[in-house]
Amino acid sequence: MKKSKTSVRRPGRSAHHAAHRLGRCLYILRQLSAYIDDELPSDICRELRRHLGACPNCEVFAASLREAVGLCRHRPTPHLSSSDRAALRREIIRASRLGSQG
Amino acid sequence: MRRTLPSKSPRTSQQRDDFDKLYRDHVDLVYRYAHRLCGETETAKDLVQETFLNAYRGFEGFRGDARISTWLYTIASRACMRMRRKRMGQPERELSLDEFIPTSDGEFRLQIPVDGLTPEEALENKELRQALDQAIQKLPSKYRVTLVLRDMEGLSAKEVGTVMGANERAVKSRLHRARLFVRRELSARGITKSDRDSGAAPRKSGGSST
């Protein structure tokens, strides 16, 4: 079931969160990166998938971790301009010559 | 930033040519890595300079046991951690798994507009890019280096271990904590703006993304 997008608290939630802190969910939380990187043995992977199918909070959490990793992997970076590249090279050569003379 | 090398025997012209080639072939890689680590252009340039000066100093000693790129990543990572330590003036904290356990409804999902978008499309949102950069910058150094090398530079866990002088198990543990940290920071940030600064392609999904 989809959760409401607003942060309205519903009865029984705190009990669920308390349960979430317990054993199984914590075990899943520890394995999530290995799961995302496809590094888990197939039996553990199956077990984890079964849990995610049955625990909406863990499923949402796993999806959000995967999204965060996806953003990191695709973050573009600025390039060094050719003038900066040349200026840095000059500076490094100058400093290295000074070092050799010193 | 101006630095000079300690006095060493003068290099031959062949060594200077070899070093010049090293610079030309790898300066873009080192700058990209430095920018991802520092999140800021001028500091990244300082780190590039520091890295190549240290590489110059150790060039004769480099025996080719590791790939040149791995060697440069190692020098840059150490230089970055030194710079950071100097700035912070105190040891950085360890991340514990316990701090990443959600305690309220809003903490399970990312409160950012990514639904129905590829990561590239989502990252066209400037606010999201800034939030991601800030989250990465807030990571303690060893976790940030691990995340950048593994998830942004695409090194294997083994290669990251070589750079950091750590075993694969430690690398995977740091990576997991670093990812959980970034996830939590993005979730806590609550970006609701869904329009992208380039005003490019429309959203794929018809549903709400907040």
pLDDT, residue B205, reads 37
Please tell me which residue of chain B has the smallest CA distance to A63.
Answer: B109
Q: Which of B84, B72, B90 is nearest to B38 (CA)?
A: B84
- State pLDDT tens for residues B72-114: 999 999 999 888 888 776 778 899 988 888 777 667 777 776 7
Is a pLDDT exceeding 90 seen at residue B67?
no
Calculate mean pLDDT across residues A71-85.
93
Of the candidates B3, B152, B172, the beta carbon closest to that of A75 is on B152
> How would residue B194 be classed by pLDDT, with cut points 50, 70 and 90?
low
CB atoms under 10 Å from CB of B155, counted, come to 20
A72 touches chain B (CB under 8 A): yes
Residue A48 DSSP symbol: H
- Hey, of A72, A83, A84, A97, which one would you mutate to test binding to chain B, going by the most B CBs within 10 A of its CB? A72
Contacts 24+ apart (CB under 8 A), B118-124: B118/A74, B119/A67, B119/A70, B119/A71, B119/A73, B119/A74, B120/A74, B121/B196, B121/B200, B121/B201, B121/B204, B122/A71, B123/A71, B123/A74, B123/A75, B123/A76, B124/B196, B124/B197, B124/B198, B124/B200
Q: Cα distance from A72 to chain B (closest Cα, Å)?
A: 6
Nearest CA in chain A to B175: A33
pTM over 0.90: no
By the 8 A CB rule, do A28 and A44 touch?
A: no
Percent of chain B residues topping a pLDDT of 90: 50
Give the ipTM of the model, two decimals please: 0.82
Q: What is the mean pLDDT of residues B117-146?
A: 93
